[in-house]
Amino acid sequence: MCTASGDTRAGGSITFAATNAAPSSFGGFVFGNYQANIPIPFPGACPQHVTPFVFSAGLFFTSAGPVGSGTGSWTFNLGPGLAGIPLTAQAVIVENGSLSSIVTSVAVETVLQ
């Protein structure tokens, strides 16, 4: 799951969080302007939920613990001149473990003010 919380106004900040992930895994966030459902062209891949792809940031390691307890987050500080721009984020995680895979979250969309 991917969530966003914070102040979307210029000078504010938004924290993006990934939850319910495999523990001790590596991940990050990809950002675009809008939500989408674009298949990724390799077997077993989860879809891309942001379009157009604009940038990636916020690399993290998920916390340790039982299955599904991994979390990671990144805070994006907002500068001036971004009002009205839609920003959509999706977590992408390379899961650790015997069945390791690349998983993606659903997207979360916000509009900067």
Domain boundaries, given as residue ranges, for the chain? 2-111
Whole-number Å distance between alpha carbons of 75 and 63: 17
Question: In the predicted model, what is the mean pLDDT of the chain?
Answer: 85
Edge-to-edge order in the sheet of strand 13-21: 2-6, 13-21, 70-77
Please write the tens of the pLDDT for every residue from 33-71. Answer: 998 888 777 666 678 888 888 888 889 988 888 877 888
34-37 contacts at long range (C-beta below 8 A, 24 or more positions apart):
34/86, 34/88, 34/109, 35/88, 35/107, 35/109, 36/107
Residue (of 23, 4, 25) closest to 78 by Cα position: 4
| pTM for this predicted structure | 0.84
Say which CATH topology domain 2-111 has. Immunoglobulin-like (2.60.40)
pLDDT confidence of 104, banded at 50, 70, 90?
confident
